[in-house]
Structure 1
Amino acid sequence: MRALVLFSFLLVGCLAQRPRKCTSPPLLTGSFSVSTQSERLMAFAKFSYDALGKRIRLREIGSYDNKTFHGDVLLLYREGVMFHINYRNRTCCKKPLNVDFHPLEIPQNASLVGQVVVGSSSGPGQGVLVNTWAGELQQKQGTAKYISTVTEFGCIPVSSLFHTRENGWVITSFFNNVIGLVDPQLLLPPPFCKDAQLEDTDGEEPVTFFSLF
Structure 2
Amino acid sequence: MRLLVMLTCLLAGCLAEKPHPCESPPLLTGALTVSTQNEKLWTYTRFMYDALGQRIRLMELGTYENKSFSHDVLALFREATMYEISYHNRTCKKKPLKTDFQPLAIPKDATLLGQAVLGSSSGPGQGLLVNTWTGDLPGKAGKYMNTVTEFGCIPIATSYQTSEFGWAVTSFFNNVIGIEDPGLLNPPDFCPDAEMMDSKVEPIDFLSLFHGKA
Q: TM-score, normalised by structure 1?
A: 0.87
Mean Cα displacement is larger for which, 24-33 or 90-99? 90-99
**Off by >6 Å, runs of 4+ in structure 1:** none
Distance 2:195 2:21 in 1: 41
- Deviation digits for residues 78-119 of structure 1, max 9, x if unmatched? 222110001111100011223332321112221000011111
Q: Cα RMSD (Å) of the superposition?
A: 1.6
* 3-state SS of 1:176 partner: strand
Partner residue of 1:169? 167
Amino acid at match of 1:106: I
Matched letter for residue 160 of structure 2: F
Equivalent-residue separation in structure 2 for 1:16 and 1:56 (angstroms): 36
Among 189, 205, 208, which residue is 1:208 paired with? Answer: 205
Q: Which amino acid aligns with 1:71?
A: H
| Aligned partner of residue 137 in structure 2, secondary structure | strand
Q: Which protein is richer in strand relative to its size?
A: 1
Structure 2, unmatched stretches of 5+, are 1-14
Distance in 2 between residues matched to 1:41 and 1:101, nearest whole Å = 22
Measured at CA, do residues 176 and 106 of structure 1 come closer, stay the same or move farther in structure 2, by a change above 3 Å?
same
Deviation at 1:38, TM superposition (A): 1.0
- Tell me what 2:192 maps to: 194
**Can you list the C-alpha shifts for 1:166-208, whole angstroms capped at 9, x where unaligned?**
2222111110000000221110111111211122222x33213
User: How many equivalent pairs are there?
Assistant: 196
Which structure 1 residue ranges, 5 or more long, are not aligned? 1-14
Per the alignment, residue 176 of structure 2 pairs with 178
Q: Which has the higher helix share?
A: 2
User: Structure 2: how far apart are the matches of 1:73 and 1:179?
Assistant: 21
TM-score, L = length of structure 2: 0.86
1:16/1:152 contact within 8 Å kept: no
Determine the C-alpha separation between the residues in 2 that align with 1:32 and 1:101. 18
Secondary structure, in 3 states, of the residue corresponding to 1:171? strand
| Aligned residues with identical type, % of pairs | 60
Partner-residue secondary structure (3-state), 2:207: helix
Give the letter aligned to residue 209 of structure 1. F
Give the greater-gyration-radius structure (CA).
2
Q: How many angstroms does 1:77 deviate by?
A: 1.5
